[in-house]
Structure 1
């Protein structure tokens, strides 16, 4: 929750808010995609454990 305090300095370091939003979009996409890959890999075992 504290990432908002660092958003403005990070935007200045990256060269603008456009780059910051692209950075956040890429990070969010990666963080959303990792659980999907994990569930594709181990999903069958996880579902079997809850049956």
Structure 2
């Protein structure tokens, strides 16, 4: 019984949710931008400048 409830939770909740997130949001910012000079993102170190 527990395996079937976990299976249902996964396929009825997590799978559609992940598909919706992928449709409306690109969390890894993988979209192609032909006007971009590069795809490097500069990050500041935590705690300020060193």
By the TM > 0.5 criterion, same fold?
no
Larger helix fraction of residues? 1
Structure number with the bigger relative contact order (C-alpha 8 A, sep ≥ 6) is 1
* TM-score, length of structure 2 as denominator length: 0.38
Which of 1 and 2 has greater Rg?
A: 2
